[in-house]
Structures are given as structure tokens and as C-alpha cells.
Amino acid sequence: MKKNNFVNLIFILFILAFIMTTSFIRCKSLIEKNLINNQVMQLTESTSSIARTFETLIEEKYRKIEDFAKEIAVFKNMGMSNEEIISLLDKYYSDDQYKRLGFIDKFGNVYSTDGSSGNLANRAYFQYSMKGFTNVQVLDNDLLTDSKKIVVFSTPIKLSDKETMGVACFTYPYELFVEMLQVKNNEDYLNASIIDDNGNVVAQYVKDEAYSFNNFYDIKEDFVDTDNFNNFIGKFESSSPFSTYSKKNERYYSVSPVDITTQYGRLHLITESSSDSVALSTLIISEDVNNMLLAFVVGSVLILTTITIYIRHKTRRHTKEIEDAAYTDILTGGLNYEGFKARMKNVDNTGYLVILNIREYTSFQSIVGHSKANHTLADIQKLLYNNINLQDNELSCHLMTDTFVLFLVERNEEAIINRVKAIAEQIKKYSIECALPRIKTYYGITKYVNEENIDFSYNRAKLALSKASRNKELIYHFFESSDEKDNIRLRYIIDNFEDALLDDEISLHYQPKYDNTNDEIVGAEALVRWKDKDGNNIPPVQFIPLLEANSLISTLDIYNFQKICEYQRKRLKENKKMIPISINLSRMSLYVDGIVDIYTKIVKANELDFKYIPLEITETALTDEETLKRVIKEFIDKGFILHMDDFGSDYSSLSNYAKYNFSTIKLSKSLIDSIGSDRGETILRHIIKMARDLNAHIVAEGVENKRQADFFIETKVHQIQGYYYSKPLTEKEFTKALDAK
């Protein structure tokens, strides 16, 4: 009996040992399978992330070269030579990493920044863009300079809807795009290739040349299962990433679409990794699992618990590494927008979404340089995290160039206003401590409700930011339902600006300046107006700030100056009465490289005396910046006549006049509106006397009634401009009025 019981016990123990051993082996197999599946999923996510990065890069270059082509068309219509256009645009784009930029005329002749010449009429990208398409193409050699591999972006240059004058081109080193394909998976670089619909390689990074290919279909034999390969190829048309396994060479392949249309057709990103790399986590825990099999009787529960914790730790660590790579902003080292959105999914608070923008960042960058500007952006990101003291569930990310996005947890608008003001003050303090030009920020704010679509909230905050950008005195704006309608109009302005110049929708009106002793027209100011294709007037108060915010105002300034010079030249050739017609020069145009030479060439090309085209610069635009002082001095040295516009609107008016050699001051309308009060008239009389003591000519701007007109007759200020004498006139009306005197 005892023997039988012992045998039964041994049998039961054997069965238990067999069951537990089988269970552990099964458990090990499941663990390995789950880890491999997880790694494959991470490989797929990495592929998708690289594809989006590459797609964003191409889209950015597409937008840049399309803007470049439009600028060429504008300057071509202004009569500038090919060499002048290339010289000017090279300065505009000097911060880019291009090898060469330029354009090809419709016969294939090349005009480029490095002086290269030749005929590229047979190049496929030239022919494709002449048909009206923006394109990117990788070439095995550079026909113009050397035999190195290059990437060429091209787009048509349209003088009108029907006429294409040629093709604009950006040429980049091939290595610039290969760098975008370098990414790690489990501390191991992936092999990555961009291919077209036919499987041909457009760009490729491989760490081992043994795994390179010229056409993806050439590696079909590596797939033991042909159906698996065909299924993988079928996923090229899918909008979602997909991964598969090749048994023959034990490699994992992942594909993700790159949503860019080229002459190659649609592009696709293929990544490849060895099974050893994908199964790295499985190999790490294999020894632990084998040890469990030897000691399962005494420590099975403990080891299983330890393994579970270990697996979770390793999985989380690998997930975090990939997530950090995909969610980190390269410039600042903080979160990018994709990372911001991912973190927002875990936020369980209601708060405010805030977009922070640096006002006039382009000017700031031109003053301090590209490198210092980037360093400043990184410092601002650190400041948002550290000095502003982000609370739990609060986030900050760098979106692009001069823009940051924040999520702040506050109970009401008053509290969020205090937070925003504190941020603005900290950034201002930082710029002072670092001896930088004063950094001014403004903010778009919207309420964010938990689980609301983050992109929807971002767009609302962006609309609010647009509203704040148009008022330099406004530091913030909260989203309102009316902002949506305003944004449609503003988007129209930006999208149609270059076309409006080409189609003559933008024109000049002229407001006469009268001598109040005899009511004779002795001068005028040219004012820009925009009437769209439907005959609707777009007020300058809408489009001027928007063009300034989008770095387009200098293009408008040059266009307007060219038009006023053409008008003056026509009158000169016809031996008609000539009077000075002034035009405004914006602050941002003063920072354009070579702006003095551009204006000088326009004056000389129209055979004019500088006295007939004075330039007006708003007093509030003047600062102590050395760049500004140098450019204004260059204008004066060339012979230009400068007027200080809006004199008296700022406390530094007299000191500014002393620093800069302006010949004329235009009294601010705010001073003229004070006529009628004893205090206001006393101040104005003293300003007029001091201006005369400084030998300045005086113009009264904004005179709207008889009392104001009589005041200037009494004070012997004889040049008057304003609605009391005349509203702004069309060119035809102004010419008629001028010739009638």
C-alpha cells in the first residue's frame, strides 16, 4: 500500500512537473512571440515616423520653391534682368543648405547663383515642371558642376495663367536627404529606402551594402512565400503602414506611404531590420526563463512575477526610446507637436491651449544671425519648462521657427491672462540679460475641454493668434466665434498676394499735399489699395500687418516703389509738372540685404532725380539698432530724401530726429487731433518751434476741419495733407487735379 502510494505520488509529481514544464515552455514561447510582435509594431511606427518627417521636409521645400518662383515672376514683371533676380534671391535664401538655386528659361538655358551655365532642356524634371507641376528628382550626377549625386526641386514660373516663362530650381546635396532616413530601432540603425510605384530607389540609407538594392522587386526571391511578397506589395496602395517577414534572409520589412506626388508617381518608405535586432528583448530574457525551468519547484511564482515586471520594464523602455525619437524637437530638444498631441491624450484636466509667437522674428533673426536665433529658441523652450514652472499635466512644445504651443491648467480667463503676462515678462527679461534685441511675444488662447480634438483646439487658438498679430499693442487674444470668418479673409490675402500683384489688383492712390497759402498742390503721398477680382476693397489695415507677419511686406514695398517711379518718369517724359510724391518704406524692408541698391537701381532705371520720390519711415520703427542706422545712412548717402512719418507719436521723437538725418517731419495725427484744447495747442506750438530750430521742413498730416487748417495758417505750417483738402485720389483723378493747377 505504501509502495503504491509512493508510486502514485511520484506519478502525480511527474505529471505536475510535466504540466509545469510544459506551461513554462509555452509561457516562454508566448513571451517571445509577444515581444517580437511588439518590436515589429515599433518598427512599423518608426517607419511611419520617418515617412512623416521626410514628407514634411519635401512639403516645406515645395512651398519654398513655389514662393521662390512667384518672386521671380514678380521681379520679372518689374523688368529686372535675370542676373539681378538671381543676385537678389540668393540673398533672400542665403540661410538654406542648397548647393545651387536658380531658374531655367523655357528653352532650357540655366541662370544660377554659382554662375553655372548650360542647357537642361532634356532633363525630365524640367519637362515635367514645364507642364505645370512641382517636382523633386534624384539625379546620379550634376551636369553643371561635378559628377556628384544631387536632389533637384523644380516648379513652373508663371507670368500669367497661360504663360510659363521657365522652371525654378533648388539643387541640394544628396546626403541631405539620406540623413533624414537614419533612425535607430533597439540601438541599431535601420536600412531605409524611398521608392516609387515601380519599385525604383529614389533615396536610400544602408549601413550594410549587402542589403542595398536598386529596385525593390529584385529582392522578391528573398521571400520564401511569394503570396506574402505580393500581399506586401499590395499594401503600397494603403494609407496605413504595414510590416512583413522574409524567412529566407530572416529580415523584417516595413512600408509606409509618403504622401508626395512626383514624376515618379507616389513615393513609399521601405525599412528593413534583421530578426536579431527585432528579437533583441527576447534574447535578453532567454537565460532567465531557462533558469526558471531548473528551479520551478521552489521559485516558480517569484520568477514568474519577476519576469512579468522585467518584461514590462524592457517593453516600456524600448517604447520610450522610439517615442522619444519621434516626439523630440530637433532644434530645442523639447517636445515637438506630435509629442505634444500624444501627451495630451493622457491629460484629464480642463484648461487653456495657448500659442506663443515671437513678433517680427524675421527681423530678429536677421540681426542676431541664424545660429544665435536657433539658440534663443532652445533657451525659450527651457525657460518655459523651468522658469515658468509648468505644473502637473501642463505641457509645452516647439511647433516651428518662432512658434510654441502650451497647455496650461487654470480655472478662468483672469488666471490665464496672469500666466501669459508672466511668460511674456520672463522672455523679455531673458532678452535683456542676454543683450539681445527686445523679444516681444503675443498669444492666441482658447479654452480646452478634456478629450476635445487637439487639432480642433489648435486651429481655434491659431485664429485668435492671427487676431493678436494684427495689433502690435495687443499681447493676447481669446478665440471668438467671429474669428473663423476673419480667418477665411486673411487666408485669402496670403494665398492670393503674388497673383494680385501680377493681375494689377493692387494699385496706388495719391493724397495731395497743399500749400495753404494758395491752395496749390505741392506734393503727394502714395497709398496702397487692393481691390480683389470680385471688386471688393481689402482695407490696408487688414493686409499690411498680415504681409508683415508673413515676411511679404518688402515685396510689396519694392513693387509700389517701382510703380511710383514709373508714374513720375511718364510725367517727366511728357514735360508735365513734377512734384515730390512720397511713399512709405516699412521697417522690415530696411533689413532686406541690398535694399538700398535695389531702390537706387529702380530710380536710375527711370532716370529720375531723388527729390521726386521721398521715402517716409514711421517714427515708431526707429531704434538704436546699428543695422537700422547703417541702412538709413546708406539711403541718405545715395541721395534719397527721407521723411519721418508720424512725428510726435512717441516720446523719443526729437532724439530720433537728432540721430537720423531726416529732411522733413510729418506731424502725427494724434497731435493734430489735440487742436481745440489749450494744452494740446501749446504743446503743438512748442513742437513746431523746436522742429524749426532743427531746420526741419514740416508737413501736417490728417487735417480734417477748418479749425485745424486755420491753426496751421496761424503757425505758418504751409504743407497740409488731409481730408479737409482732399481724400486719396485714383491715379486718373490725381493726374487731372494736378494738371488743372
pLDDT score, position 471: 74
Burial of 226 (0-12, 13-18, 19+ CB in 10 A): exposed
Query: Is the distance from CB of 496 to CB of 479 less than 8 angstroms?
Result: no
* Rounded Cα distance, 351 and 233, in Å: 46
Query: Is the distance from CB of 384 to CB of 404 less than 8 angstroms?
Result: yes
pLDDT score, position 281: 45
Helix axis angle, 553-573 to 2-77, nearest 10°: 10
Query: Is the distance from CB of 588 to CB of 360 less than 8 angstroms?
Result: yes
> pLDDT for 96-108, tens place per residue?
677 888 889 889 9
The DSSP secondary structure of 609-644, one letter per residue, reads: -GGGS-EEEEGGG--S-HHHHHHHHHHHHHT--EEE
Query: Is the distance from CB of 49 to CB of 326 less than 8 angstroms?
Result: yes
pLDDT score, position 534: 85
What phi and psi, each to the nearest 5 degrees, are found at residue 523? 180, 180
Nearest-CA neighbor of 348 among 456, 450, 454, 457? 450
Report the DSSP pairing between strands 395-400 and 403-408.
Answer: antiparallel
pLDDT score, position 47: 76
Number of neighbouring beta carbons within 10 Å of residue 435: 6
The separation between CA 575 and the C-alpha centre of its own chain, rounded to angstroms, equals: 48
pLDDT score, position 690: 84
Question: Which cell numbers hold the place of 558?
Answer: 519694392
3-state secondary structure 474-492: CCEEECCCCHHHHHHHHHH
The DSSP secondary structure of 534-551, one letter per residue, reads: TS-EE-HHHHHHHHHHTT
pLDDT score, position 308: 45
β-sheet bridge partners, residue 203: 194
3-state secondary structure 343-403: HHCCCCCCEEEEEEEECCHHHHHHHHCHHHHHHHHHHHHHHHHHCCCCCCCCEEEEEECCE
* Rounded Cα distance, 92 and 448, in Å: 39
Query: Is the distance from CB of 122 to CB of 143 less than 8 angstroms?
Result: no
Collect the ranges in the chain with pLDDT lower than 70: 1-14, 16-18, 20-21, 23-40, 89-96, 183-188, 211, 220-251, 274-325, 363, 366, 387-389, 451, 482-490, 549-550, 619-625, 649-659, 741
Query: Is the distance from CB of 222 to CB of 246 less than 8 angstroms?
Result: yes
pTM recorded for the entire structure: 0.51
| DSSP run (H or E) holding 525 | strand 520-531
As a whole number of angstroms, the longest Cα–Cα distance in the chain is 140
